[in-house]
Amino acid sequence: MSDIVFQAQIPGVFAEETLLRQDFSMARRHLHESTELYFMLEGERYYFIEQDTYHVKQGMAVLINRDQIHKTSMVSGSTGHHRFLLQLDPSVLDGMFSLPEIPDVDSLGRKYWGVAEFSGEDWRQALDVIGMLKGEIQRREPESGAMARLFAMQLLMLFVRNRRQQEIAWRRNQVSGHPVHTGIHRTVHEVALYLQNHSAQACSLDMLAGRFYISRAYLTRMFKSVTGFTITEYLTVCRIRKARVLLEETELSVTEIASRTGFGNITYFEKVFKEMTHETPLRYRKQLREKR
């Protein structure tokens, strides 16, 4: 269950502040084309991104690049959490800036995705900016949209600064950041990487269980509990993501793409693709080309 404190959408920015109880569960197959910025205002949450699990607490933020696999899940013993979420549309925001020190939103997402723990001063500033962003949207004046988008970019740059500073510290101390790599999280990391790298192949539960020396039942339960996905769901997301790349970057037919991504059956491929993207493969390719 969740209580929405604030929710609004303007061109380029969707913003939502929510109080969520411990039984909250994200929608299945969570994958989108926007860049997502998530601030943990209170509480704690596990955040699974690609193949790693992060323990996100108050004073931390998460940046998710477009098309990244991600889900959040409950931390044992927690009583809920309070978060502020931004979804940023690069096609709108990139046109606002022409400064060399501000790369496009997609570039920032590709380079700095992950978790950042803010300094005390920057966290206080981020909270102030969140308040100003919400206030501008609620004012509904002619300048409000532009002001709100500027505040959204300011929050993104605050994240980038703290993420970059932490990466410097991690390299200096020869550590890898915040991923949780204990117990089952390490095994899930290895299974998820294998699925990403072999998504075009048949990956049965029996084969995976044998490869990682665990039972089918334990593999299924463990993977779902950590990632929020079943093995099949995760594999499907990997395949659809690869199909989108092939539709964008090649002239391969839909039949060939279905084969190369492991779907085989074109009818099933088109059905799943539309479920996840709300477009047929051919329509998706056409829309991409129209944007160029």
Asked whether residue 25 falls in the same domain as residue 168, the answer is yes
What's the mean pLDDT in 180-199? 88
Domain-terminating residue out of 173, 196, 228: 173
CATH number at residue 113: 2.60.120.280
Q: Are residues 206 and 160 in the same domain?
A: no
Average pLDDT over residues 169-190: 75
In single-letter form, the type of residue at position 70 comes to H
If asked whether residues 49 and 162 sit together in one domain, one would say yes
Q: Is the pLDDT of residue 23 over 70?
A: no
Would you list the DSSP string of the chain? -EEEEEEEEETTEEEEEEEE-TT--PPSS---SSEEEEEEEEEEEEEEETTEEEEEETTEEEEE-TT--EEEEPPTT---EEEEEEEE-HHHHGGG---TTS--HHHHHHHH-EEEEPPHHHHHHHHHHHHHHHHHHHH--TTHHHHHHHHHHHHHHHHHHHHHHHHHHHHHHT---SB--STHHHHHHHHHHHHHHTTTS---HHHHHHHTTS-HHHHHHHHHHHHSS-HHHHHHHHHHHHHHHHHHH----HHHHHHHTT---HHHHHHHHHHHHSS-HHHHHHHHHHH-
| DSSP tag of 179 | B
| CATH number of the domain residue 252 falls in | 1.10.10.60
* Residue 74 belongs to a domain: yes
Instruction: Let me know if residue 179 belongs to a domain.
Output: no
Domain with 228, as residue range(s), is: 184-291
160 shares a domain with 189: no
Q: What is the pLDDT of residues 122-149, one digit of tens each?
A: 999 999 999 999 999 999 899 999 999 9
Task: Look at residues 173, 196, 230 and tell me which one is the last residue of a structural domain.
Answer: 173
Question: Is 243 among the domain residues?
Answer: yes
Statement to judge: residues 75 and 156 lie in one domain: yes
Query: Does 98 have pLDDT greater than 70?
Result: no
Question: What is the number of domains present in the chain?
Answer: 2
The better pLDDT of the pair 171, 122 is held by: 122
Average pLDDT, the chain: 88
Same domain, 169 and 226: no
So what's the pLDDT on residue 1? Answer: 61
Percent with pLDDT over 70 in the chain? 91
Q: Is the model's pLDDT at 152 over the cut of 80?
A: yes
170 has a pLDDT exceeding 80: no
| pLDDT at residue number 38 | 96
Per-residue pLDDT at 85 exceeds 50: yes
pLDDT band at residue 176, thresholds of 50, 70 and 90? low
The pTM (predicted TM-score) of the whole model is 0.83
* Confidence band, pLDDT 50/70/90 cuts, at residue 199: very high
In this structure, is residue 178 part of a structural domain?
no
Tell whether the model's pLDDT for residue 283 goes beyond 70: yes
Q: How does pLDDT run across 237-279, given as a tens digit for each residue? A: 999 999 999 998 999 999 999 999 999 889 999 999 999 888 9
What is the pLDDT averaged over residues 37-49?
A: 94
Q: Are 190 and 260 within one domain? A: yes
Q: What is the pLDDT of residue 96?
A: 76
pLDDT at 177 over 80: no
Identify the pLDDT of residue 209: 94
